Amino acid sequence: MVGLSIGEKHFIQGGIAQDLRSDGRKRLTIRPIYVETGVISQANGSARVRMGATDVIACVKAELGRPNALQPDKGKVVVNVDCSPTAAPMFEGRGGEELSAELSVALQRCLLGGKSGSGAGIDLSSLVVVEGKICWDLYIDGLVVSSDGNLLDALGAAIKAALSNTGIPKVNVAAGASGDEQPEVDVSDEEFLQFDTSRVPVIVTLTKVGRHYIVDATSEEESQMCLAVSISINRQGHICGLTKRGGAGLDPSIILDMISVAKTVSEQLINTLDSHIAAAEAGEEES
C-alpha cells in the first residue's frame, strides 16, 4: 500500500471532487500511452505498453494442442501474469504472487467472458485446425516491469498490441487420417496468418474515490478507493467481461452509468491504441 499523510489524502480526494487530479488530469482522462511491438523475438507476438509510470510487457506463444473434449470446435487461451519484485515493494514475497493470480484471473475473464465463452473477445473457434483433434493453444504472458496504478488496463492494452503483432504459422493437414487417428500436419516456418484482433477488447477501470469515479488511477489514487469496476469493451461496443474489486456495494443504476462512461472512454482508448500500434508496426518494419 502507498503510505500517505492525512493532508495528502485530503489533497487527492479534494482534487478528484473538483475534477482536477494531482497530476493535472480530469477525472475521465487517461495518461499518455507509449507502445512498442516485437520486443521479444522468440515469441509469436509481443508488445510493451507504458501508461505514465506503469510499464508492462505482454507476449504471445502459439503451440499446437488438442481441443478440450467438451469444446471440440474451440482452441484454448491461457493468460498468466508475473509481477516483478522490483516493480513495487508490495510485489515482494506473497504479495506479488497474490496480485499476479488476481490479475491473471481478471484478464482471463475480461478477454474470454464467461465459462460458456459468450462475450469472448477472442474467437476461440478461429484457433481450431482440425475439429476435435488439433487446435492452437495461445499462451499469453504478462510482466509488470513498473507499477504506478491501473495495471489491469495497461496489461489489457499490452495484450491487444501483442495480439496485433502475432503471426500464427500456416498449417497444412495431410489427408487420409480417419476415425480417432491424429492427422499429420506440416507447420510452415515462412507463412504466417495475422491474428484477427477486431473483437479483442480494451479494459477500462473506473475507480471510485469518495463520491466520484476516475479512469487510469495512479497508485496514490488507488490507495484511496472504496471500489473499482473493470469493464472490457471491444470496437463494436460489446461488453466482453466485467470484474469488481473492493468491498463496497454498488447500486445497479450506478453500474449502468459506469458502463456508459466506460464505452465512451474505450472508444478514445481504442483509437489511441490502434494509432500507436500502427506506428509501432511501421517503425518495426522500417528497422
Q: Collapsing DSSP states into helix, strand and coil, what is residue 100?
A: helix
What is the C-alpha separation between 260 and 67, in angstroms, rounded? 37
What is the C-alpha separation between 139 and 78, in angstroms, rounded? 5
60 vs 170, higher pLDDT: 60
Domain spans of the chain, in order of start: 8-286
Beta partners for 138? 62, 77
pLDDT tens for residues 143-189? 999 989 999 999 999 999 999 999 888 888 877 666 677 778 788 78
| CA 57 to chain CA mean position, Å | 11
pLDDT tens for residues 252-265? 778 889 999 999 99
pLDDT tens for residues 267-277? 999 999 999 98
Q: pTM score > 0.85 for this model?
A: yes
Q: How far from 245 is each of 8, 128, 129, 242, CA to CA, in Å? A: 23, 34, 38, 10
pLDDT for res 286: 63
Residue 11 C-alpha cell reads as 489533497
The DSSP code for 217 is -
75, 128 contact by CB (below 8 A) = yes
Cβ of 237: how many Cβ atoms within 10 Å? 9
Of 103-107, 198-202, 233-237, 243-247, the poorest mean pLDDT is in 243-247
| Residue range 8-286 in CATH 3.30.230.70 | yes
pLDDT band at 201 (very low <50, low <70, confident <90, very high): very high
Query: Which of 27-36, 121-130, 166-175, 185-194 holds the top average pLDDT?
Result: 27-36
Residue 196 C-alpha cell reads as 484477427
pLDDT for res 45: 93
Cβ of 233: how many Cβ atoms within 10 Å? 26
pLDDT for res 118: 53
